[in-house]
A and B are shown apart, each in its own frame.
Chain A
């Protein structure tokens, strides 16, 4: 099955993001040898994409230190390979692909490592990073932590492609067409992966009783869906 590349001028997708325009500028500056100006312009792209990139990497890795490294490396790799970026494509998708590949490489390396090392608790020490005031009660925090741990464990148990589909589409709000470009798959295949992932997630979370105690207010959710 052949996959048609998504284009910035494609009417089916969202309008050209400013990151793509900025990337085109940076590419021209790099071609002209003005590396300092190119880095400065690229900084604007970083400002716009950093939070999203960190969030995607966090969904995969869960370890803040590793997320930090992967995000840094992904931005530097994108800057270095920007001369090969095609202006008619979306920078955001191109960059997401770099990031997701980096995350998957990390996961592979981590799995290799954990065969030989004793695995440590992933979130130990992270609870003290927030401010002390206006915090929920320890009980609520503990319950929330438990809920998140269950969700993260369920997401981690998904196969790689299903996990990528659910992270990018459900957690990050990308369309299946965009994710098909990121994953290099057909759009309908991405939908199948997404559906299977959601079904699997629902099944495992139902077993844990996760879905029976959703904390969101129903009206709030309906408003958001609308």
Chain B
């Protein structure tokens, strides 16, 4: 404690304070004359300029020539940049060997020749065991569009005709409207609501594939247009609604009609329960 008090007293003395201020001035002078080192960014910029062969900042270059430490740092940075480029190129060289590049060149040439039309188009290989090799069909590039349109039209017409074909029913004419004999109630269409499975099947057979309800035959040779009254005579409301119900609920594929007849309806089950 006593030594410390002595030192404090010596510094506080006029002679001691002069010594301290002198040392401070010397330090400031040394700091101002010693050049500061380059920052990391300056070193990196210098290295980048070296690597690219660009002229560097003259003040920075001058400092590097005089400062050994900054010179070493900038050389290290330049070496690291070169190492980056070398590593990247080595990776490419390992992957793209001369053989790979040659194969690539061949592919480019082939595509180029195909582009200018000097190379033959891809060859069609015949089936190896075919006895008579088929002739290739050459379709001119300009005519395929109308041909496709005409073909699609024909296909559409044919499909439309197929869809509207009626099932082969000997007594039924598909599109003509027929009237039933009002005096012969047996000829009336059965009521499918009251009917069981086979009866429903009969009602379903009054329909064609499109679900159009076929009316019972007209009395005599009546061929005129059907009025509402005549229609009511031909088909009573219950029968019409029943046929309509069948048309709505039954399948329209004739092959599945038998399966449909065997399938119980919810409504029928409800009736049975009652």
Give the interface of A toward B (CB within 8 A): 35-36, 38-39, 42-43, 46-47, 50-51, 54-55, 58-59, 64, 67-68, 71-72, 75-76, 79-80, 126, 129-130, 144, 147-148, 151-152, 155, 169-171, 175-176, 194-195, 198-199, 201-202, 205, 211, 214-216, 218, 221-222, 224-225
Contacts and interface: CB of A to CB of B under 8 A. Distances in A.
B105 to A, nearest CB: 6
Contacts of A51: 96, 101
Given A35-B117, A42-B112, A54 B92 contact: yes
A198 B44 contact: yes
B83 A216 contact: yes
B85 interface: yes
Contact of B112 (A43, A47, A50): A43
Contact of B115 (A39, A46, A129, A199): A39
B107 interface: yes
B95 A214 contact: no
B95 A58 contact: yes
Contact of A76 (B50, B88, B111): B111
Contacts of B85: 170-171
B237 to A, nearest CB: 60
A126 B112 contact: no
A54 B104 contact: yes
Interface string B79-105: 111111111111110111100110011
A148 B91 contact: yes
B116 interface: yes
A79 B118 CA distance: 15
B41 interface: yes
B84 A72 contact: no
Contact of A211 (B52, B80, B95): B80
A198 B48 contact: yes
A59 B92 CA distance: 8
Q: Would you list the 4 A-B pairs with minimal beta carbon distance, nearest first? A: A35-B116, A214-B83, A148-B91, A39-B116
Interface residues of B, number: 44
Given A129-B97, A152-B91, A218 B79 contact: yes
B105 A46 contact: yes
Given A198-B44, A215-B83, A221-B82, A55 B90 contact: no
A68 B87 contact: no
Given A170-B51, A171-B88, A199-B44, A224 B82 contact: yes
A54 B95 CA distance: 11
Contact of B86 (A36, A64, A68, A216): A216
Contacts of A72: 104, 107-108, 111
Contacts of A50: 101, 104-105, 108
Interface string B148-164: 00000000000000000
Contacts of B87: 147-148, 151
B78 A225 contact: yes
A222 B47 CA distance: 12
Given A54-B96, A147-B87, A148-B90, A221 B116 contact: no
Contacts of A222: 75
Contacts of A225: 50-51, 78, 82
Given A59-B92, A64-B95, A147-B87, 20 more contacts: A36-B116, A39-B113, A46-B112, A50-B101, A50-B108, A54-B104, A71-B108, A76-B111, A129-B94, A129-B95, A144-B90, A148-B88, A152-B91, A171-B88, A214-B83, A215-B83, A216-B82, A216-B86, A218-B79, A221-B78
B101 A202 contact: no
B112 A75 contact: yes
A151 B82 CA distance: 13
B80 A129 contact: no
Interface string B98-132: 00110011011101110111100000000000000
A14 B221 CA distance: 103
Nearest to A201: B84
A55 B45 CA distance: 26
A95 to B, nearest CB: 13
17 contacts: A35-B116, A35-B118, A36-B117, A46-B109, A46-B112, A54-B92, A58-B96, A59-B92, A64-B100, A68-B104, A148-B90, A176-B52, A199-B41, A215-B83, A216-B79, A216-B82, A225-B78
Given A50-B104, A129-B100, A59 B52 contact: no
